[in-house]
């Protein structure tokens, strides 16, 4: 597979002026990025970000910044693959890679979808328990049933509108909480761009990475982007649509970065400042009341419920997408194979939710599992998008390949550090 040093005349990112890009037509193409973004403001992020902020203050904010930059590039490439080839990442892997390799790729991403769904259902259950006082197992069953019903009856466009509403509520809740807790903005700003990592923080840092750069979202984005009117044969029009996709991705991921940073800032300002190390999301909600007032606890519960429900929907959609894509079946939420993939993703997660004892640790390890799977999603994505045979004249440029190699190297390096830490090697 080779590289293309320059795209079609003008380049994919040429002429990115505000007057040309931010117009009424752009609004028609916004949505797929938001649908994907909710996956990295999910309960798994809540668990890792609260753990990071309560134990290490603002020091791991840089992980969110780095992860989001990596995510923007990877999500853009996944969407680019879907637009140019008309196939999602799962379908492209099935077409271009050997069968035995696809068994491994498909198997690991299905497991990753299950781990994702577990975190999402746990978050929705936690939100119900915080707001209504129900037992966690009952909250899990009820919220899981609601999610499955929404996935069964909704279409992508309707789900986008629903999730945009959920994301707006989450952002509003955290804006109010930031105003209430009065953080140290200077320290937070420095920590957002200055890396700091050691043996004590590597597990949480890797969980944060897995919670932001979620492999199932790369598969989902390459599919849902095709639900917009992306058909164009004229090269100029095709370039314009690709720029719209990039802006959709950039704006949505930027909003996700702000919300994730807000989670850590609130946790640091409330818990670390008070010497409270949070080991459970319910504990976080309960300790918010005396430290930041009852309103903060209520906002926490509402935002967590919205995050859990919306990200559970996207996790189930991703599960259906990868299951049908790797099997070579039609990717249609109304078809039986897609729904089988949804159930395969959701039911084990609900079962573990009901049976698990240490829910917070389960959330953390589910995100670590996503990070460990990432190389088996990112490397195929790089190989496909750099190939002229697959992408034609829209194959990656030399600079894009260089950036992708750097992202892949960082993921492999951090996973290697995690494995060393697991075997007791300190650094």
pLDDT band at 24 (very low <50, low <70, confident <90, very high): low
Residue-level length of the chain: 427
Considering only CA atoms, give the Rg of the chain: 21
* pLDDT, position 157: 64
Within-domain flag for 317: yes
Closest listed residue to residue 140, CA positions, set 300, 306, 309, 357: 309
Residue 12 lies in a domain: no
Cβ–Cβ < 8 Å for 8, 203: no
What pLDDT, on the 0 to 100 scale, is given for residue 228?
A: 63
Average pLDDT on 212-228 reads 86
**Residue 311: CB atoms within 10 Å:** 31
Instruction: List, for residues 69-81, the tens digit of each pLDDT value.
Output: 999 999 999 998 9
For residue 3, being part of any structural domain is answered with: no
Q: What percent of the chain has pLDDT over 90?
A: 38
Mean pLDDT of 227-243: 68
Per-residue model confidence as pLDDT tens digits over 399-427: 999 999 999 999 888 888 878 877 777 76
What's the distance, Cα to Cα, between the start and end of the chain in Å? 37
Q: Which two tokens stand for residue 278?
A: 């949070």
Domain count, the chain: 1
- How far is residue 365's CA from residue 210's CA, in Å, rounded to a whole number? 10
Q: Over 60: is that where the pLDDT of 341 sits?
A: yes
Q: Which pLDDT score is estimated for 176? A: 84
Torsion of CA 245, 247, 251, 253, to 10 degrees: 50
Q: Which whole number is the average pLDDT over 201-217?
A: 86
What is the reported pLDDT for 277? Answer: 85
Confidence (pLDDT) at 6:
38
Question: Is the predicted pLDDT of residue 167 greater than 90, yes or no?
Answer: no
Average pLDDT over residues 84-111: 95
Tokens of 96: 């271009």
Q: Which CATH number does the domain housing residue 397 bear?
A: 1.20.1740.10
Mean pLDDT of 120-125: 87
Q: Which of 102-111, 201-210, 285-294 has the lowest mean pLDDT?
A: 285-294
Instruction: State mean pLDDT over 211-231.
Output: 82
Q: What is the pTM of this model?
A: 0.85
Average pLDDT, the chain: 84
Q: Domain limits at 92?
A: 18-422
pLDDT value for 32: 79
8 lies in some domain: no
Token pair for 178: 């930031």
HSE at residue 62, side-chain half, CA atoms within 13 A, is 12
At 171-200, the pLDDT tens digits run: 888 788 888 888 999 999 999 999 988 888
CA dihedral 102, 103, 105, 109 (to 10 degrees): 130
């Amino acid at each position: 597979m080779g590289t293309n040093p320059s795209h079609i005349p003008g380049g994919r990112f040429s002429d990115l002026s505000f007057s040309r890009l931010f117009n009424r037509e752009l609004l028609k193409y916004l949505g797929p990025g938001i649908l994907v973004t909710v996956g990295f403001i999910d309960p798994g992020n809540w668990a890792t970000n609260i753990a990071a902020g309560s134990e290490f203050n603002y020091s791991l904010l840089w992980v969110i910044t780095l992860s989001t930059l990596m995510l923007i590039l990877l999500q853009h490439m996944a969407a680019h693959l879907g637009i140019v080839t008309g196939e999602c990442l799962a379908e492209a892997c099935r077409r271009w890679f050997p069968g035995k390799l696809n068994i491994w790729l498909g198997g690991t991403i299905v497991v990753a979808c299950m781990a994702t769904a577990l975190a999402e259902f746990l978050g929705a259950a936690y939100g119900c328990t915080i707001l209504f006082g129900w037992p966690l197992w009952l909250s899990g069953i009820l919220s899981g049933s609601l999610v499955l019903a929404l996935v069964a009856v909704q279409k992508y466009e309707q789900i986008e509108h629903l999730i945009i509403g959920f994301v707006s509520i989450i952002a509003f809740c955290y804006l109010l909480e930031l105003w209430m807790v009065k953080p140290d903005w200077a320290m937070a700003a420095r920590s957002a761009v200055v890396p700091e990592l050691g043996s004590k923080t590597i597990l949480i840092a890797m969980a944060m990475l897995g919670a932001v750069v979620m492999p199932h979202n790369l598969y989902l984005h390459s599919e849902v982007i095709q639900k917009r009117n992306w058909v164009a044969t004229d090269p100029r029009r095709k370039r314009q649509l690709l720029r719209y996709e990039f802006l959709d991705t950039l704006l949505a991921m930027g909003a996700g970065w702000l919300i994730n940073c807000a989670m850590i800032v609130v946790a640091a300002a409330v818990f670390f400042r008070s010497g409270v190390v949070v080991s459970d999301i319910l504990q976080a909600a309960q300790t918010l009341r005396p430290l930041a007032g009852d309103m903060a606890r209520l906002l926490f519960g509402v935002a967590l419920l919205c995050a859990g429900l919306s990200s559970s929907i996207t996790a189930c959609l991703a599960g259906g997408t990868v299951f049908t894509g790797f099997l070579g079946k039609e990717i249609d939420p109304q078809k039986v194979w897609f729904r089988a993939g949804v159930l395969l993703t959701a039911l084990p997660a609900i079962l573990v939710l009901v049976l698990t004892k240490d829910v917070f640790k389960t959330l953390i390890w589910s995100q670590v599992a996503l990070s460990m799977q990432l190389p088996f999603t990112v490397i195929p994505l790089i190989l496909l998008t750099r190939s002229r045979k697959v992408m034609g004249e829209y194959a990656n440029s030399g600079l894009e390949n260089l950036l992708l190699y750097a992202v892949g190297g960082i993921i492999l390096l951090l996973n290697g550090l995690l494995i060393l830490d697991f075997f007791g090697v300190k650094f």
